[in-house]
């Protein structure tokens, strides 16, 4: 069998990469007590590693491959999605420090434990677990499928898409099963660096293929001069009252803002909290969110990925990154292989953390407390490993056997995770959010997301209920609809259940935060400025103010000389908004001290969410209740489909 | 905690070489393939910067090169020199390839020698190649 140069380089780089991940996973497993702490590495990872791993998790291949494709498909309005890195960082600086502090004080090892502890509600454990499993199975399946197909194309058909998908899944599984969360986090830092190098390489390649940055912009200008292409270079209004976003060409600012909220959902996901709680201290939060995520990766997205997308737009490519790599396949196969491994690394940063987080949630946050509280630690670890295997298998089967279902389900993961942001805000800041308000709000948000996205619409069609709207009604992403419903439900229920606030541990946390806070009077004076600046940035950067980007730096449909910055005006606006966004995140993180490390030492409390319940054996009553609930739901759906469906 | 430190330093070292190493390999390969010596020079510079980055990481963690790292570095340098010499003598390497190879080997030897001389002194430099723990001795 004669191997092509592309295949040889892919095998060579792949082998080095697998050897690296396997070696470090083994080293992580050799640590003292590593087997016992396989599922959670609470307080063990250094801050710099967590900062990098969180950045890699936030972007993964979803943004790296998706953003250029979106720009190539819908034009420069897609570049505004790069600003979602600023929204992600804002979520991070608002909640990460306090989540870490509460976790350290009360010994929480996961988001499920954190929320269930604060709200005294097991509902949050189930909700958080559900979101975690969705990420581990469906969200990773989508990326797995894309990477499998890309490998098949890059290898010139030397390896088919399906075996390639299995191979990538195996590469991930081989180190996660050995090293657990510590390895996933530690290698996340390395994967973050590889991702950054890959994006820089892709940007240089796109610039080279375009004949230079100026030539690319001239080519875009030629496109912009055609009136039919106006929507590719302009935001098409604030909102369009259509049944679904697919019914119109061109993006509205409402779609940009709500999609930004969806992408920022990763910061409110169980994986982000799990990694955060694994940090040894809180020194890396401010730097990680400000300089790594908003600054470095925000810049890479706003300039680099947008440039790759612009190349795709000019080249009328449907898969910008893939086509770019294929063009280099003949002349620089080593480059293609190296970039591909960078993309696999970005995928693994998400997949590995998702798998362990979901396994932790299923075993430690659901099975142990609700079904078998006296399970011994070695069995817990064993069950966790089994769960990692099952979740990986489910993901790869979904990717290879049901790719359409994977896309439909995977699209729900980020908007679902965004619905956990209000409960996290309640934990960190808003004491008036009562447990019923937070839980009902989140469930309402999740249901609304499902009903305004493809999956829910298809499900409703299946049971015979034809919804009068399509995907993302009024050009608002399902995450936006979900958050609106979530906030509305939470506000109403919080207003009528104020007496239930005693259920949550608001007083405990209030006094705890008062003890560890170091906000001086001068910082308090800056609060109103900061919130005003945040609202102004959201309005101008990702909200209706994006319309100014259509003309602020020249006429988007005019001659090249009319583009004042030498780039499409909307892109120039996005770059400006990114710069201002970094300053905003820095201001909130450092000047307002919302993400800077606390100077007070936090001592662990004696009783926390990880404390064991005193029950022996399997809780048969809980198992029966679960089976009845599942059977009831299944019977209801089947019955509805049988009566009304077709 | 010893293992934790070992893992953390190792991840930092691999991240460093993941970044500068891939840049170096890329530019050297492209320089040779496209016959552009300047591109190769960027690659060589990236290797030197990667080496300096490794030194910074060593300083941060208060460790020196481990026996494995030193062995890997020397073995790579040795095999690279051998391959380059054989290729130069037996086949007609292009001018850019010859200059790239010579620059790379010279840069690595000079950087390594300067490091050893400044760190241990001319006399003590050679004694560093033995008697150290596999995971890198303290400084």
Residue-wise pLDDT for A463-497, tens only, equals 888 899 999 999 999 999 999 999 999 999 999 88
Q: How many helices (H) and strands (E) does chain A have?
A: 26, 0
Percentage of residues of chain A with pLDDT beyond 90? 68
Range of the domain at B58: 2-129
pLDDT at B135 over 70: no
Most confident range (mean pLDDT) of A577-581, B34-38, B129-133 is A577-581
Span A47-67, average pLDDT: 93
Percentage of residues of chain A with pLDDT beyond 70? 96
In a domain, residue B139? The reply is no
C-alpha gyration radius of chain A? 24
Of the listed ranges A92-96, A419-423, A603-607, B53-57, the one predicted with least confidence: A603-607
Cα–Cα distance for residue pair A6/A616, rounded to 1 Å: 58
In a domain, residue B91? The reply is yes
The C-alpha torsion from B133 through B134 and B138 to B139, rounded to 10°, is 100
Of the listed ranges A29-43, A433-447, B48-62, the one predicted with least confidence: A29-43
**In A463-568, which residue ranges form alpha helices assigned H by DSSP?**
478-496, 506-516, 521-537
How would DSSP label each residue in B66-107?
-HHHHHHHHHHHHHHHHHHHHHHHHS---HHHHHHHHHHHHH
Report pLDDT for A612. 53
On chain B, the residues whose CB falls within 8 A of the CB of A31 are: 3-4, 7
Judge: A186–B18 Cβ closer than 8 Å, yes or no: no
Task: Choose among A27, A52, A335: nearest Cβ to B7.
Answer: A27
Report pLDDT for A1. 63
Cα–Cα distance for residue pair B51/B112, rounded to 1 Å: 9
Residue A554 phi/psi, 5-degree rounding, is: 115, 175
Report pLDDT for A503. 64
User: For residue A563, what are the β-bridge partners?
Assistant: A554
* Residues of chain A contacting B, Cβ within 8 Å: 20, 24, 27-28, 30-32, 44, 46, 49, 52, 182, 186-187, 189-190, 192-194, 196-197, 201, 331-332, 334-335, 338
pLDDT at A614 over 60: no
**Min Cα–Cα distance to chain A from B54, Å:** 14
Report pLDDT for A17. 94
Report pLDDT for A603. 81
Span A40-49, average pLDDT: 88
| Nearest C-alpha in A relative to B135 | A27
Mutate to test the interface with A, among B3, B17, B18, B19 (most CBs of A within 10 A): B18
Report pLDDT for B108. 86
Report pLDDT for A523. 62
User: For residue A45, what are the β-bridge partners?
Assistant: A279
Task: Choose among A31, A190, A338: nearest Cβ to B14.
Answer: A190
Span A354-375, average pLDDT: 92
On chain B, the residues whose CB falls within 8 A of the CB of A336 are: none
Give the pLDDT band (50/70/90) at residue A616.
low
Of the listed ranges A255-264, A549-558, A589-598, A616-625, the one predicted with least confidence: A616-625
Judge: B8–A49 Cβ closer than 8 Å, yes or no: yes
Report pLDDT for B89. 83
**Min Cα–Cα distance to chain B from A267, Å:** 24
Which residue segments constitute the domains of chain A, with CATH numbers given? 5-34+43-422+502-599 (1.20.1730)
Report pLDDT for B138. 54
pLDDT at A80 over 70: yes
Give the pLDDT band (50/70/90) at residue A126.
very high
On chain B, the residues whose CB falls within 8 A of the CB of A338 are: 22, 25-26
pLDDT at A229 over 80: yes
- If one counts every other C-beta atom within 10 angstroms of the C-beta of residue A161, the result is 20
Of the listed ranges A2-16, A163-177, A215-229, A494-508, the one predicted with least confidence: A494-508
Report pLDDT for A199. 95
Whether B2 and chain A come into contact, CB under 8 Å, resolves to: no
| Nearest C-alpha in A relative to B27 | A335
Residue A176 in contact with residue A388, Cβ under 8 Å? yes
pLDDT at B76 over 90: no
Report pLDDT for A400. 94
Report pLDDT for A319. 85
Q: Using CA of residue A261, residue A262, residue A264, residue A267, what is the dihedral sign?
A: positive
Whether B8 and chain A come into contact, CB under 8 Å, resolves to: yes
Report pLDDT for A517. 74
Give the pLDDT band (50/70/90) at residue A636.
confident
Residue A126 phi/psi, 5-degree rounding, is: -70, -40
Span A610-639, average pLDDT: 76
Cα–Cα distance for residue pair A268/A264, rounded to 1 Å: 7
- If one counts every other C-beta atom within 10 angstroms of the C-beta of residue B19, the result is 20
C-alpha gyration radius of chain B? 16
Which of these, A228, A263, A271, A270, lies nearest to A249 by C-alpha position?
A228
pLDDT at B133 over 60: no
Give the pLDDT band (50/70/90) at residue A40.
confident
Which of these, A481, A475, A413, lies nearest to A445 by C-alpha position?
A481
pLDDT at A29 over 60: yes
Report pLDDT for B35. 86
In a domain, residue B25? The reply is yes
Cα–Cα distance for residue pair A169/A144, rounded to 1 Å: 7
Span A496-511, average pLDDT: 74
Q: How many domains does chain B have?
A: 1
On chain A, the residues whose CB falls within 8 A of the CB of B29 are: 332, 334-335
ipTM over 0.85: no
pLDDT at A309 over 70: yes
Judge: A49–B11 Cβ closer than 8 Å, yes or no: yes
Give the pLDDT band (50/70/90) at residue A3.
confident
Give the pLDDT band (50/70/90) at residue A134.
very high
Judge: B15–A197 Cβ closer than 8 Å, yes or no: no
Q: What is the pLDDT of residues A415-461, one digit of tens each?
A: 999 999 999 999 999 988 989 999 999 999 999 999 999 999 999 98
Q: How far is CA B9 from CA A33, A175, A437, A616, A626, in A?
A: 20, 19, 46, 43, 46
Report pLDDT for A524. 67
Mutate to test the interface with B, among A8, A23, A25, A46 (most CBs of B within 10 A): A46
On chain A, the residues whose CB falls within 8 A of the CB of B22 are: 194, 197, 201, 338
Report pLDDT for A23. 92
Report pLDDT for A570. 95
| Nearest C-alpha in B relative to A331 | B33
**Min Cα–Cα distance to chain A from B98, Å:** 20
| Nearest C-alpha in A relative to B20 | A197
In a domain, residue B136? The reply is no
Of the listed ranges A83-92, A180-189, A601-610, the one predicted with least confidence: A601-610
Cα–Cα distance for residue pair A238/A179, rounded to 1 Å: 48
Q: What is the pLDDT of residues B79-97, one digit of tens each?
A: 888 888 888 888 777 888 8
Residue in this structure with the two tokens 């870490």, named with its chain if needed: A100
Report pLDDT for A26. 92
Residue A599 phi/psi, 5-degree rounding, is: -85, -10
In a domain, residue B45? The reply is yes
- If one counts every other C-beta atom within 10 angstroms of the C-beta of residue B99, the result is 16
Average pLDDT, chain A: 90
Report pLDDT for A607. 66
Judge: B11–A193 Cβ closer than 8 Å, yes or no: no
pLDDT at A361 over 70: yes
Average pLDDT, chain B: 82
């Amino acid at each position: 069998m004669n191997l092509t140069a592309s295949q040889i380089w892919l095998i060579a780089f792949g082998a080095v990469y697998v050897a690296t991940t396997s070696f470090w996973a083994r080293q992580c497993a050799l640590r003292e007590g590593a087997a016992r702490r396989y599922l959670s590495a609470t307080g063990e990872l250094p801050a710099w590693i967590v900062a990098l791993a969180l950045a890699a998790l936030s972007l993964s291949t979803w943004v790296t491959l998706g953003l250029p494709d979106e720009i190539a498909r819908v034009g420069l309005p897609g570049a505004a999605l790069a600003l979602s890195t600023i929204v992600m960082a804002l979520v991070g600086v608002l909640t990460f420090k306090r989540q870490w502090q509460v976790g350290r004080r009360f010994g929480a090892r996961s988001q499920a434990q954190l929320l269930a502890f604060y709200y005294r509600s097991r509902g949050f454990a189930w909700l958080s677990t559900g979101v975690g499993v969705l990420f581990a199975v469906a969200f990773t399946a989508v990326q797995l499928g894309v990477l499998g197909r890309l490998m098949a194309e890059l290898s010139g058909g030397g390896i088919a898409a399906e075996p390639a998908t299995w191979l990538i899944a195996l590469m991930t599984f081989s180190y996660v099963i050995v090293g657990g969360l510590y390895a996933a986090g530690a290698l996340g830092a390395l994967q973050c660096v590889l991702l950054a190098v890959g994006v820089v390489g892709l940007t240089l390649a796109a610039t080279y293929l375009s004949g230079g940055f100026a030539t690319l912009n001239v080519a875009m200008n030629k496109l912009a001069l055609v009136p039919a292409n106006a929507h590719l270079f302009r935001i098409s209004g604030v909102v369009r009252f259509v049944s679904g976003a697919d019914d119109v060409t061109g993006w509205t600012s409402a779609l940009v803002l709500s999609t930004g909220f969806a992408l920022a959902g990763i910061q409110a996901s169980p994986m982000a909290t799990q990694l955060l709680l694994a940090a040894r201290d809180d020194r890396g939060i401010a730097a990680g969110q400000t300089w790594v995520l908003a600054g470095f990766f925000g810049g890479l997205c706003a300039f680099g990925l947008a440039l790759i997308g612009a190349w795709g737009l000019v080249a009328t490519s449907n898969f910008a990154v893939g086509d770019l790599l294929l063009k280099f396949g003949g002349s620089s196969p080593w480059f293609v292989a190296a970039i591909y491994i960078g993309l696999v690394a970005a995928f693994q940063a998400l997949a590995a953390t998702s798998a362990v987080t979901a396994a932790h949630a299923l075993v430690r946050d659901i099975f142990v407390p609700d079904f078998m509280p006296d399970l011994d630690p070695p069995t817990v670890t064993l069950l966790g490993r089994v769960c990692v295997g099952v979740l990986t298998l489910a993901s790869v089967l979904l990717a290879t056997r049901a790719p359409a279902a994977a896309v439909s389900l995977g699209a729900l993961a980020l908007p679902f995770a965004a619905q956990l942001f209000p409960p996290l805000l309640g934990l960190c800041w808003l004491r008036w959010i009562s447990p019923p308000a937070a839980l009902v709000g989140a469930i309402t948000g999740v249901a609304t997301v499902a009903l305004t996205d493809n999956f829910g619409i298809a499900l409703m069609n299946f049971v015979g209920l034809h919804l009068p709207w399509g995907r993302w009604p009024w050009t608002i992403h399902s995450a936006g609809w979900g958050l609106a419903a979530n906030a509305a439900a939470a506000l109403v229920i919080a207003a009528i259940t104020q007496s239930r606030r005693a259920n949550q541990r608001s007083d405990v946390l209030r006094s705890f935060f008062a003890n560890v806070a170091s906000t001086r009077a001068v910082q308090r004076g800056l609060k109103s400025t900061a919130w005003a600046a945040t609202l102004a940035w959201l309005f101008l950067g990702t909200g209706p103010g994006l319309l100014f980007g259509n003309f602020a730096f020249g006429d988007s449909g005019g001659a090249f000389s009319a583009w004042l910055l030498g780039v499409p005006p909307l892109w120039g606006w996005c770059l400006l908004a990114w710069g201002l966004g970094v300053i905003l995140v820095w201001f909130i993180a450092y000047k307002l001290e919302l993400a800077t490390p606390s100077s007070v030492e936090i001592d662990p409390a004696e009783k926390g969410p990880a404390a064991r319940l005193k029950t022996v054996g399997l809780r048969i009553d809980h198992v029966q209740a679960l089976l009845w609930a599942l059977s009831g739901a299944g019977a209801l759906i089947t019955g509805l489909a049988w009566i009304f469906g077709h | 905690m010893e293992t934790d430190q070992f893992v953390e330093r190792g991840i930092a070292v691999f991240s460093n070489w993941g970044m500068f190493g891939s840049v170096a390999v890329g530019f050297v390969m492209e320089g040779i393939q496209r016959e552009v010596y300047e591109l190769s020079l960027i690659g060589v510079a990236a290797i030197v910067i990667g080496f300096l980055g490794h030194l910074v990481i060593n300083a941060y963690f208060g460790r020196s090169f481990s026996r494995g790292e030193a062995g890997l570095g020397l073995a790579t340098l040795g095999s690279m020199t051998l391959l380059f010499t054989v290729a130069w003598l037996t086949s007609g390497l292009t001018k850019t390839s010859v200059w790239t190879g010579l620059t790379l080997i010279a840069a690595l030897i000079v950087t390594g020698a300067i490091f050893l001389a400044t760190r241990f002194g001319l006399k003590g430099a050679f004694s560093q190649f033995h008697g150290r723990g596999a995971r890198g001795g303290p400084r």
